[in-house]
Chain A
Amino acid sequence: MSMINYASREINCKLVYYGPGLGGKTTNLEHVYQKVSPDTRGKMVSLATETERTLFFDFLPVDLGTIRGFKTRFHLYTVPGQVYYNASRKLILKGVDGVVFVADSQIERMEANIESMQNLYDNMAQYGYDLTKIPFLIQYNKRDLPNAAPIKDLQASLNPGWPMDDPAKQKDTPDPYHPGELLIQQVDGQWIERAPYFESVAVTGEGVFDTLKAVAKLVLKTLS
Chain B
Amino acid sequence: MAEISASSWSLDENDYKRILEHMNALLQESSARCALLVDRAGQLLANAGEQLSFDPTAFASLTAADFSANDQLAKMIGEPEFASLFHQGEKESMYLADVARRVILVVLFDQRTTVGMVRLKVKQTVGDLSKVFDEMFKRAPAPGTDRRGVLEGAEDEIDKLFGA
Contacts and interface: CB of A to CB of B under 8 A. Distances in A.
Contacts of A3: 8-11, 39, 41, 43, 45
A65 interface: yes
Interface in A33-64: 42-43, 45, 47, 56-57, 59, 61, 64
A151 interface: no
Interface string B1-24: 111111111111101110000000
A45 B58 CA distance: 7
A11 B150 contact: yes
A91 B55 contact: no
A77 B57 CA distance: 13
Contacts of B74: none
B92 interface: no
A223 B154 CA distance: 9
Contact of B61 (A2, A59, A96, A176): A59
A6 B13 contact: yes
B4 A95 contact: yes
Given A14-B42, A59-B61, A127-B4, A223 B148 contact: yes
Interface stretch (A22-30, A184-192, A209-217): A209-217
B151 A223 contact: yes
A135 B12 CA distance: 26
A95 B158 contact: no
Given A2-B147, A67-B151, A224-B153, A94 B162 contact: no
Contact of B161 (A2, A67, A77): A67
B57 A42 contact: yes
Interface residues of A, number: 50
A220 B58 contact: no
Given A75-B61, A95-B41, A4 B10 contact: yes
Contacts of A216: 162
A129 B143 CA distance: 10
A128 B148 CA distance: 20
A104 interface: no
A132 to B, nearest CB: 12
A1 B161 contact: no
Contact of B41 (A57, A94, A213, A220): A94
B68 A94 contact: yes
B163 interface: yes
Interface in B58-79: 58, 61-62, 64-65, 68-69, 72
Task: List the 4 shortest-distance A-B pairs measured between CB atoms, nearest first.
Answer: A128-B2, A95-B41, A7-B16, A4-B10
Given A1-B4, A57-B65, 12 more contacts: A2-B8, A5-B10, A14-B43, A43-B58, A45-B61, A59-B61, A68-B150, A95-B42, A127-B3, A128-B4, A224-B148, A224-B152
Interface of B: 1-13, 15-17, 39-43, 45, 55, 57-58, 61-62, 64-65, 68-69, 72, 144, 147-155, 157-159, 161-164
5 contacts: A5-B16, A11-B150, A42-B57, A213-B162, A224-B148
